[in-house]
Amino acid sequence: MPQITPKEWRRTHPDVGHVLAATVDLNGVWRGKRVPVADLEKVLDGGLRLPLSVSGVDIWGEDIAGSKLVFEQGDVDGICLPTGRGIVPVNWTRTPTALVPLWLAREDGTPFDGDPRRALDAICQRYRERGLTPVVAMELEFYLVDRQTAPLVPPLSPVTGERLFKTDVLSIDELEQFETFLDRVNGACAEQGIEVDMAICENGPGQFEVNMRHLPDPLRAADDAVLFKRLVHGVAQQCGFAATFMAKPFGQHSGSGCHVHFSLLDRDGANMFDDGSATGSHHLQHAVAGLLETMAPAFLTFAPHFNSYRRFQANSHAPTHARWGHEARHAAIRIPAGDARARRIEHRVAGADANPYLVLASILGGALWGLEKKKLPPPALSETGGTDEAAPLPRNWGEAIDLFRTHKVVRDMHAPDLIRMYCDCKEQEMDKFARTVSPLEHQTCLETV
């Protein structure tokens, strides 16, 4: 998007009285300040400060008990620097406003490793040093829901007035019924410079998938994803719905995933995964092997919440084992068919509830680990009929936290500050869920046992 000066922007947006200046925390939640538009230049010049600890608060926005940043270091401020995205218009609020995306640095200007965008940038830097360019596209699934009822239910059709209730995959009718919402999403994406490709009706009632275009810039791709999630929430409210990127909002319907497609360009711009064959190059094999070996250790970045683990079920498209295959949508790693020049890897593990920066950092970090160590994967599913002895992926939150905190391969990919902050955050959230007794437990046992 073309960059303009704050003065020029204020002149062309006289109806905007304030902007939101914000960074993204480890959970993928935007956190920041409401700033008068007169102070826009200060924000863009790096004059805004936020506590470094804001990156690591839990999903409810609470500080982490015993946090070193808060209690040992005095909860010091960090410098908020613009990401380069500029001023992003917001068109779904009652009064016009805008968002300035930021990321955190320490007082001396060095990157703050606890910022998830910094984690992805560190991985991208390793690719740049090797003259390699990842080309990335993300697919995000989400549900529209009715917030006026309890328990949570799918929405009413804006056309028929009837409640959606059934699986209707790739339904054209459902796309037409929600065309106002989808048109407004597309309009907001265009204003924010988010390059979306196509939208489809997914398996669940009121579930949609939006595909983003392939970009030779993983940071830009992740920026687009976090901005997209926020605008979907905003546009849904504008249209009288709520939107959710929960991994499994309905137990009886399909979960929502975040699928990542990527290829790798060499210094000359050639696709390193393409050797002219239908199976792909040895570079592709190495990357797949790295992804499979790092999948379980990095699983916490793909399944970060209590609800995330409801999505991984047998006989579903959410993988339960570290397997790969050609055109195998039930595998964790899929190699799509098609033109060999566009040979790529599809990573199908992450839920839509995951932080896009951490998802891409773990995927690209895992692929690079395999490329550097020249690992080879086990036979593909298509070669074994699905009977291989692939390792199971973590089945619960606690196992994923332990692996992320202790596994050597995670330390090879991520900074110590990020590992500590992320695990501390997830353990605090897990403890709160463990102390919460559900209504189902009361219904089952209250006067029975």
Residues 273 and 153 in one domain: yes
Nearest to residue 191, comparing CAs of 293, 86, 290, 72? 86
> What is the per-residue pLDDT for 74?
66
> What is the per-residue pLDDT for 75?
82
> What is the per-residue pLDDT for 388?
53
Pairing of strands 18-24, 97-105: parallel
Residues 162 and 293 in one domain: yes
Structure tokens at 65: 């008990």
Residues 404 and 266 in one domain: yes
In a domain, 434, yes or no: no
pTM: 0.95
In a domain, 449, yes or no: no
Beta bridge partners of 105: 79, 111
Residues 22 and 128 in one domain: no
Residues 105 and 134 in one domain: no
Residues 257 and 392 in one domain: yes
CA atoms within 13 A on the CB side of 406: 6
Specify the CATH number for the domain of residue 192: 3.30.590.10
Residues 101 and 54 in one domain: yes
- Burial environment of residue 258 by CB neighbours within 10 A (0 to 12, 13 to 18, 19 or more): buried
- Work out how many domains the chain is built from and give that number: 2
- Cis peptide before 377, with omega less than 30 degrees from 0? no
Residues 144 and 290 in one domain: yes
Specify the CATH number for the domain of residue 10: 3.10.20.70
Nearest to residue 6, comparing CAs of 81, 98, 83? 98
Residues 392 and 365 in one domain: yes
Distances (CA, A) of 338 to 122, 265, 271, 335, 377: 32, 18, 14, 10, 22
Residues 32 and 79 in one domain: yes
Question: Given the structure tokens 């409210």, which residue do they identify?
Answer: 237
Q: Return per-residue pLDDT of the chain as tens, 449 residues.
A: 456 788 899 999 999 999 999 999 999 999 999 999 999 999 999 999 999 999 999 999 999 998 888 876 768 999 999 999 999 999 999 988 999 999 999 999 999 999 999 999 999 999 999 999 999 999 999 999 998 887 889 888 888 888 888 777 667 888 888 999 999 999 999 999 999 988 888 778 899 999 999 999 999 999 999 999 999 999 999 999 999 999 999 998 999 999 999 999 999 999 999 999 888 999 999 999 999 999 999 999 999 999 999 999 877 788 999 999 998 888 999 999 888 889 999 999 999 999 999 999 999 999 999 999 999 999 998 654 444 568 899 999 999 999 999 999 999 999 999 999 999 999 999 999 999 999 999 999 999 99
In a domain, 178, yes or no: yes
In a domain, 350, yes or no: yes
Residues 280 and 197 in one domain: yes
Q: Can you give the residue range of the structural domain that contains 51? A: 6-113
Residues 222 and 178 in one domain: yes
